[in-house]
């Protein structure tokens, strides 16, 4: 049985300009690994309707799940909800249940639910709301696309809300060994190891410490017995 697959769309000019550092992909990747959903692709797209719609259509057709972050706030450049609606040919409008959530939240804060804030209650037809206990404005799920906020604290709570509802597979296991040798010296034995364990992913990640070069070798796989066997052999070859 193969694991469900997934992709992520990170949306926003501020990400692509370098003004904002994205942390949501890192968090999502870690959480998906725990539940056995394989993250296969991540796209970063600008606040451009054609780019967002195209990415949603392409990735929704290619993977079991798609997760988006960014572009569902109250300002003019928050266009993700509209783009996702168009990608699926759905109407979009202020929905009563989403409006009620926002109204209750801003009433508690003593703040007006103005037209700008009400944009966050615009939900595509037929979508299911994603709870937002941090700032109330909900995300939503339409078909296999999970549309979530870009603010990391909100994104993380939405991920925590969504993941228990998804069917996962076998979690990815990993072990690592730090070797103080250059990649040119270890490439041959690592290639042989990869050939002998085709179901495992074996990666080499170089580092430099106090003027000495080395590599972090990471073995990943779903079968713990195979991971253990490969690591045992790796230690026998490179154990230091």
- Sign of the four-CA dihedral 205, 207, 213, 217: negative
- On whether both 154 and 189 belong to a single domain, the answer is no
Q: What is the pLDDT of residue 103?
A: 97
Q: What's the rounded mean pLDDT across residues 128-142?
A: 96
pLDDT in tens, 18-54: 999 999 999 999 999 999 999 999 999 999 999 999 9
Q: What is the pLDDT of residue 12?
A: 95
- On whether both 145 and 207 belong to a single domain, the answer is no
Do strands 38-45 and 65-69 pair parallel, antiparallel, or not at all (unpaired)? unpaired
- On whether both 98 and 186 belong to a single domain, the answer is no
Q: Do the beta carbons of residue 113 and residue 103 sit within 8 Å?
A: yes
Name residue, tokens 């942390």: 23
- On whether both 35 and 134 belong to a single domain, the answer is yes
Look at the chain and report how many structural domains it folds into: 2
- On whether both 64 and 135 belong to a single domain, the answer is yes
Q: How confident is the model at residue 208 (pLDDT cuts 50, 70, 90)?
A: confident
Range of the domain at 190: 173-238
- pLDDT tops 80 at residue 59: yes
Name residue, tokens 């949306």: 11
- pLDDT tops 60 at residue 240: no
- On whether both 121 and 230 belong to a single domain, the answer is no
pLDDT in tens, 110-120: 999 999 999 99
């Amino acid at each position: 049985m193969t694991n469900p697959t997934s992709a992520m769309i990170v949306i926003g000019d501020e990400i692509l300009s370098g003004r904002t550092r994205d942390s949501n992909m890192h968090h999502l990747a870690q959480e998906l690994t725990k539940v056995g959903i394989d993250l296969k692709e991540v796209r970063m797209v600008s606040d451009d309707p054609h780019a967002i719609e195209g990415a949603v259509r392409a990735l929704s057709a290619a993977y079991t799940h798609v997760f988006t972050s960014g572009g569902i706030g109250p300002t003019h450049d928050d266009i993700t909800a509209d783009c996702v609606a168009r990608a699926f040919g759905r109407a979009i409008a202020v929905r009563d249940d989403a409006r009620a959530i926002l109204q209750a939240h801003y009433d508690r804060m003593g703040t007006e639910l103005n037209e700008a804030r009400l944009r966050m209650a615009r939900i595509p037809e037929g979508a299911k709301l994603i709870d937002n206990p941090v700032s109330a404005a909900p995300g939503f799920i339409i078909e296999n696309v999970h549309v979530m906020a870009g603010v990391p604290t909100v994104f993380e709570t939405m991920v925590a809300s969504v993941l228990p509802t998804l069917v996962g597979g076998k979690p990815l296991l990993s072990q690592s060994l730090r070797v103080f040798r250059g990649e040119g010296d270890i490439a041959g034995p690592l290639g042989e190891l990869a050939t002998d364990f085709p179901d495992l992913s074996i990666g080499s990640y170089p580092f430099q410490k106090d003027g000495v070069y080395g590599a972090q070798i990471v073995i990943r796989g779903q079968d713990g017995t195979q991971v253990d066997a490969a690591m045992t052999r790796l230690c026998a070859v490179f154990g230091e």
